[in-house]
A and B are shown apart, each in its own frame.
Chain A
């Protein structure tokens, strides 16, 4: 009896990959543990090891094939002497892997007339972040990058790809797993005027270093009567990735935005990522850049101009509308855009605001929108209590209360630690229907 070899999932967020190379051909025998093929994902090239022994009877997916979905049959194996049953049976219905990143409709025309930066190019958020660092490092010898696996490994999420080669080991430095220690070291260096970029492998691990970020980086300018600034960037993926459970799935927007002395930005598109990170590196203050792992591989149009940069503290109206304002940041902007699309089908015109910057918060842009739509829905992955939605709603009460025709509604992650189980994880995160429902309720269409 033959068995089928399936396209394996090699990472929490992988849904498809390129079958780059076969190291075996039909007729070859394979031993368990032997490398049979190489697969490329957007992050890395990986070797596929045989699980079972036997003879490869046929190759079903030729090398060079792109976008092979996880669990596609890629080859057939004849198990030989009583070995067949160990191969993954093709009939086993696999549980859904990582929820496929919501496919984002092609970025619509910018509704806010932003400065026209000229020609654009399609790049991933990953490339945008790397390009931003490279550009600033070329321009300013005081800028350097430290973090775990940023140099030789090229970044745990491959954001720093190529930087070691271009800038050398003094400016792109691998750190041991010592977040508290290396963050303190970077903050100290920033006190002398250097401009460190500190990559946290994920923001979950910044909690090891949060004392240095808040007590040292954020407060020293104030405590020194303005003498000792701290031009530093803390960046890395924030929020839920996929199926990595409670200690690795948390949104830190509200945590850091709470603190005076810090700026906090959260890019969605590649242009956001590039423009905001460049601004963060140039900013003379500590800036927290909250990225998102699921966005890293997504592509957007991004200006190619050498001097392209965005202002920290300015939101962007991603889509114009007249009936309801939906405020979101980071990956939730994508969901807000999808919701707006759905709502349009139902005759509700939604305006989508991409905050870009959490602190300072662009209350003016939100208020201007609410004065037009008279309704507000906020959307975030984080927890509701003292979250960004709470802050946005309160600021709108303070500045545009008379323009509200309905109480604002928050759509947030559920108030629980993130569960691991696939079904519960889905329930714990905001869902498209909830956003649509919230918009319908504030417009009294329910």
Chain B
């Protein structure tokens, strides 16, 4: 086993005391709650027929993206799959623009032309929103390649599911990233299922954090239901990348509470399994408890945050219904960049 990997795997399991300050944890709580409430609202609008097509909710996994985002600086890039609403909110994209894209309106980030799976913000370093399982991993290497090429000290964070981790281009990407020492953090969001297929029915590997081991990519398994653990591991990964030592891989053990997309009958797991995760490991509840018990935060303090979040989400839903559909002229725009 390569040295770096060995060191990393030794660290595994040794959970230290929560490393977040009061302010950091409050912020994380607020960001996770925003994603949760936003997604619940999206599910509701879908049920009303205001959102069409596929709609993959991030509920349950909020700690992963919020914890990672705390490690990043402006200019760093993020890329992910179709389960992307949480990532967009975490990078600071506006709830209004995301929700209006979900309803297919001109006020959406893609003017209504991309929908749930395809939104982008260069300004916030968010490079999508990709519908083809695994494709974003090669693209993420490209973001990291640009950082390496420009020597600008930025890192790229590439998120993908444990299902996606089996795609051929993911393995090609791991080799390329290691070969060129690209500043790329691979995040496997292992939520245990790719649609209806559990991880043990799709991967022969029992430890996905070691998927980069053949190429010497250090990897760690992380409790992805705990924002402090995510943040700690994320800091190690970012430090490694910024120091020019090449890519890093984090396997986030997480869980999605809702179906794969809105039309998932979820017969492949029991309600009890979902209920148990919600009750014992929920990232928002964990943060809430830590704030109340360890930091002297009061219920009233949290209520202020809850209300702020509720207002943002309601405002985004209102905006997403008021914003008009794109004008018909938009059908023929944005196909090629005009030359000359």
Contact = CB atoms under 8 A, between A and B. Distances in A.
Interface of A: 6, 8-12, 14, 35, 43-47, 51, 70-71, 88, 92, 94-98, 148-149, 152-153, 156, 174, 176-181, 204-205, 207-208, 241-248, 414-417, 419-424, 427-428
B263 A10 contact: yes
A420 B166 CA distance: 29
Contact of A419 (B40, B113, B168, B194): B113
A420 B48 contact: no
B113 A421 contact: yes
Contacts of B117: 245, 247-248
Given A12-B52, A51-B43, A248-B53, 14 more contacts: A10-B262, A88-B44, A88-B48, A94-B48, A153-B268, A177-B133, A207-B132, A245-B114, A246-B114, A416-B335, A419-B330, A420-B116, A423-B325, A424-B112
A149 to B, nearest CB: 5
Nearest to A201: B195
A300 B332 CA distance: 37
B331 A428 contact: yes
Of listed A47, A176, A181, A423, residue having the most chain B CB within 10 A? A176
22 contacts: A8-B47, A47-B266, A51-B44, A70-B49, A71-B48, A92-B50, A94-B49, A94-B50, A95-B52, A148-B195, A174-B201, A205-B132, A245-B113, A247-B130, A248-B117, A415-B335, A416-B331, A416-B332, A420-B112, A420-B113, A424-B326, A427-B331
B164 A177 contact: yes
B48 A423 contact: no
B23 interface: no
A208 to B, nearest CB: 7
The B interface is mostly helix, strand or loop, or mixed, namely loop
A88 to B, nearest CB: 5
Given A45-B265, A152-B268, A153-B268, A176 B203 contact: yes
B186 to A, nearest CB: 16
Given A176-B203, A420-B112, A414 B331 contact: yes
A246 B128 CA distance: 14
Of listed B43, B47, B168, B271, residue having the most chain A CB within 10 A? B47
B163 interface: yes
Nearest to A181: B168
Contacts of B54: 12, 244, 248
A422 to B, nearest CB: 6
Nearest to A418: B113
Nearest to A51: B44
A35 B325 CA distance: 33
B104 interface: yes
Contacts of B325: 421-424
A95 B166 contact: no
Contacts of A247: 117-118, 130-132
A424 to B, nearest CB: 5
A421 B268 contact: no
Nearest to B40: A51
Given A12-B53, A97-B49, A245 B163 contact: no
A245 B131 contact: yes
Contacts of B331: 414, 416, 419, 424, 427-428
